Each structure stands twice: as C-alpha cells, then as structure tokens.
Amino acid sequence: MFIQNKLLVILGGFTVIKKLLAVTLSSIMLFSLAACTAPQDNTKKAEDTISIEHAMGTTEVPKAPKKVVILTNEGTEALLALGVKPAGAANSWTEEWYPHIKKDMEGVKGLGKEDSINLEAVAALKPDLIIGNKMRHEKIYSKLQSIAPTVFSNTLRGEWKENFKFYAKVLGKEAEGEKLISDFDNRIKEIRESSKDKLDTKVSLVRFMSGKTRIYLGDTFSGIILRELGFARPEAQQATDKFVNEIGKERLNEADGDVMFYFTYETGDGKGLAREKEWLEDPMFKSLNAVKNNKAFKVNDVIWNTSGGIKAANLMLDDLEKFIDKM
C-alpha cells in the first residue's frame, strides 16, 4: 500500500510538471506570434497614415479620412472646394450656413460657432480627423485630440491661401489644391491686366458692426485680395501688417478714398444695420469724396470679410469685376 501511494504521488507530480510545461510552451508560442505580427501591424499603420506638422506639433492622420470635422468657416469652404463634404462643421457666424454654401452643407452637423464648439457633438460624430485653428481652438486642443487625430492651421484673417494649402495636404489632395490656387491666381492676373488704368484708384474698406466702425487694412481677407490685384489704398489704410483701425466720427476722413466699399456685420438683432444707417445719414459721412462722387458701394459682408475662404475669394473677384467700370 505504501509503495502504491508513493507511486501515485510521483505520477501526480509528473502530471503537474506536464501541465506547467504545456502552459509555458503556450506562452512562448503566443509571445513569438505577437513578435512576428507586430511589425506587420506597424507597417499597415504607416501605410494608412501620414505624419502632419501643424501649429500644435506633429500628428499621424489617416491618408483617406472618411469622417472629417472642420472647425472654421474658411476651412469649410476649403473642404467643399476640394470635394470633401464634412461630417460636422462650425456653423456660419451669421446663420446656420451662409447662402453661398447652404446647398452644399445639407446634412452636415452644425457644431456651434467657431469660438464655442460643442465638444459633445464632435465626439458623437466619431470622426477620424478633426481640423481646427490655433487662434480659435488652442484651449480645447487636448480635448479634441482625445476624440480623434487633430491638426490645426496657425492663424486666420487674411491667411486663407496658406491655410487652404495646409488643408489640401492634410486631406491628401495637394494636386487638386494647387490647381484651385493656380486658377485663382490666374483670375487675379487677368483682372489686374484688364484694369491697368484703374489700379491707381485709392480703394477704401469700411465695415459697420454693432457699436463699431472699422477700417480694414492690409492684413485682412479683402485687404490682401486688393493688394494682390494691385489697387492703391488711401494713405491712412496702407499698412500691410495690420488688421483694422477702429474709428469714431472724428476720424471719418480716414475712411475716405476715391472709391469706398462698405460692408455690415449683421447677426439678426438689427444692431449692425442700425450702425450703418446712423453713419450713412451723418452729414460728415455724406461730405466724404467717395460718397459725394457716388462711389461708395455696399457689398456683402459674408463675401468680403466674414466667410474668409476660397469660395468667398472668388465671389469677391466676381463683385470687383462688376464694379471696375464704376470705379
């Protein structure tokens, strides 16, 4: 009996050792398999993504994103021009979508204004790429990055061309982007050539807003386009590295020029239009040369300033071509 029990103990020990060996061998095989497959997964990742340097650093983004979120108005125009319909976008400043993009934006989820993005709405879309702007969204970058790969253009104002090229690169559409910029630049050359006798005309840019009147200088959307065309600006408006000068009526002379284009930012509360009416009816405003000579023209604020993208830029050129004979 003693020998039998001893034998059972020995056999039991062999069984335990056998099980331990089996577990060990299984672990080694799994580790080896993981080691073999890991490089393949990394290769696949490298093939499916591209490294993008942007205003906040470097980020790996998908080469062919299917659900893109865009957080600026000018960026929305860039995507549409490049044939990419966003899954979600920052709403237009003055309404849900500007009239010139409204049809193209059917079915796109509005995410709030550029400066008040709804992060929960962004996350609900489950995007595979988010495109924002450092000037607008630096404070929420880490939150956006936690939702999906996020890249930022650096600034806004008149930088729509540089931003457009950046967006085209991010979306893998550099060739299409170059073509669209080339087409725009060719339009600039054609208008400049056909308007040689008008380029000495001093063009003033004035904007009315709720409680404010501004002169728009060289570092603005419309200011840069006028400079590209070669038009002169009044002496008080020649700075190319400044955005705007806010003026009161005591500085109205700074708004004068051979020609004036004015535009009004109106959100629906009537305050922008009230400011415009007050100034246009003021005798001092009526005494300006551009006004007296019937060369003060009202233009669309969305096209000449607020939207700020490639579609608006081309529409602004359309406007200028219509006005050139009157300048």
Which pLDDT tens digit goes with each residue over 151-198?
Answer: 999 888 777 999 999 999 999 999 999 999 999 999 999 999 999 999
What is the rounded CA–CA span in Å between residue 60 and residue 62?
Answer: 7
Average pLDDT over residues 281-310: 97
Q: Give the model's pLDDT for residue 209.
A: 97
Output the pLDDT for position 156.
80
Rounded to an integer, what distance in angstroms lies between the CA atom of residue 7 and that of residue 272?
100
Instruction: Tell me which of 297 and 40 has the higher pLDDT.
Output: 297
**Vertex 186 angle, CA 184 and 189, to 5°:** 115
Q: Is the pLDDT of residue 15 over 60?
A: no
Amino acid 45: pLDDT:
57
Instruction: Supply 35's token pair.
Output: 């080691």
pLDDT for 46: 55
In the chain the beta strands, taken as DSSP E runs, fall at 49-54, 57-62, 68-70, 88-89, 109-110, 129-133, 150-153, 203-209, 212-216, 244-246, 259-264, 296-298
Dist CA 185 CA 228 (whole Å): 9
The pLDDT value recorded for residue 158 is 75
Instruction: Specify the pTM.
Output: 0.84
Percentage helix, strand, coil, to 5, in the chain? 55, 15, 30
| Residue found under tokens 């007296």 | 292
User: What average pLDDT does this structure show over 104-116?
Assistant: 97
Report the percentage of the chain scoring pLDDT > 70. 86
Cα separation, 288 vs 261, whole angstroms: 13
Q: Per-residue pLDDT for 70 more than 90?
A: yes
Could you give the C-alpha distances from 39 to 31, 34, 43, 44, in angstroms and in order?
Answer: 13, 9, 6, 9
Condensed to tens digits (0 to 9), the pLDDT of residues 223-242 reads: 999 999 999 999 999 998 89
Q: Is residue 297 over pLDDT 70?
A: yes
Per-residue pLDDT at 47 exceeds 80 = no
- Output the average pLDDT for the chain: 88
Residue 123 carries which side chain, given as an amino acid letter? Answer: A
- Residue 125 pLDDT greater than 70, yes or no: yes
Give the pLDDT confidence score for residue 157 in this predicted structure: 73
User: Is a pLDDT exceeding 90 seen at residue 91?
Assistant: yes
